[in-house]
Amino acid sequence: MSTVSPLIAGNWKMNGLTHSLDELSELARLLTTGESPRALVVVCPPATLLAAVAAQGASSGIIAGGQDCHREPHGAHTGDISASMLADAGAQYVIVGHSERRTNHGETDQIVCAKAEAAIGAGLKPIICVGETEAQRDAAEAESVVSAQLAASIPDAAEHHEVVVAYEPVWAIGTGRTPTLDEIDEMHNAIRARLVDRFGLSKGESIRILYGGSLKPQNAREILGIGNVNGGLVGGASLLAKDFYTIISAV
Ligand code: 13P
């Protein structure tokens, strides 16, 4: 079983205005006054708040992350943000290949892989997301779909750089539904096996595999207690400091 230290990341998605930094202050207060967290804590706000989150989070150990980056380092890409810009704003991590990007922006595994490579090139740690749709799970294709996504979305550069994998079943995102504990266990074990196959035992065991999809204060303890679950990627429940802190404390 992998013994990598856990990481809990909050993905604010397209939520958050300046006043949301009050929630970050409250999270910082909880993290510094309560028992010290066992997990690394990453907050991925919208890009408009990234520099503020990085600056404000530093004193309480909260690490800032981006939600996406362009695959090119710079150039004529109106509205896009490069990995080096995220790093420049204070990010240390960046989510790539979230299912909302894959679906809403047509991102293929090849694009996700190029983005992960760009992130590594800029000194960021990519959080590479994979996950099956409900139809794929119903057709008993979940494991093969996720294996194919892993193979094509993780760049070879991961061998010498830190990357994180997030398993987010598409049908569990924002729905309040989650796979059973056995299903999560099976999928995380399968992902671990793929990583060990590709990168060898020592590297393959050191890559964190996060679970994401309706992770809540109510189910965090049991999901985060599964062997190859090395933390979580939290959407809705990361928007409220109290809920996010409860999840962090469940590690
Ligand atoms: P929810 O926690 O809101 O289901 O979102 C999960 C997610 O997509 C995190 O990236």
Query: For residue 2, what pLDDT is reported?
Result: 56
Q: Is residue 2 part of a domain?
A: no
Domain that holds residue 201: 7-249
Query: For residue 100, what pLDDT is reported?
Result: 98
Q: Is residue 210 part of a domain?
A: yes
Q: Is residue 1 part of a domain?
A: no
Q: How far apart are CA 215 and CA 203, in angstroms?
A: 27
The separation between CA 238 and the C-alpha centre of its own chain, rounded to angstroms, equals: 12
Q: For the chain, what is the domain count?
A: 1
Query: For residue 165, what pLDDT is reported?
Result: 98
Active site includes 168? yes
Residue 173 CB–ligand 1 contact under 6 Å: yes
Q: How far apart are CA 163 and CA 155, in angstroms?
A: 10
Looking from the CA of residue 236, the nearest atom of ligand 1 is 3
Q: Is residue 225 part of a domain?
A: yes
Active site includes 183? no
Residues in the chain: 251
Residue 215 CB–ligand 1 contact under 6 Å: yes
Q: Is residue 161 part of a domain?
A: yes
Q: Is residue 127 part of a domain?
A: yes
- SS3 assignment, position 63: strand
The pTM assigned to this predicted structure is 0.98
CATH number at residue 95: 3.20.20.70
Query: For residue 44, what pLDDT is reported?
Result: 98
For residue 91, count CB atoms less than 10 angstroms from its CB and return exposed for 0-12, middle for 13-18, buried for 19 or more: buried
Q: Is residue 191 part of a domain?
A: yes
Q: Is residue 14 part of a domain?
A: yes
- pLDDT per residue, tens digit, the chain (251 aa), is 457 999 999 999 999 999 999 999 999 999 999 888 899 999 999 999 999 999 999 999 999 999 999 999 999 999 999 999 999 999 999 999 999 999 999 999 999 999 999 999 999 999 999 999 999 999 999 999 999 999 999 999 999 999 999 999 999 999 999 999 999 999 999 999 999 999 999 999 999 999 999 999 999 999 999 999 999 999 999 999 999 999 999 99
Residues annotated within the binding site for substrate are 11-13, 174, 214, 235-236
The dihedral built from the CA positions of residue 13, 19, 25 and 26, taken in this order, carries a sign that is: negative
Candidates 238, 222, 234; CA nearest to 183 is: 222
Residue 28 CA to ligand 1 center (angstroms) comes to: 21
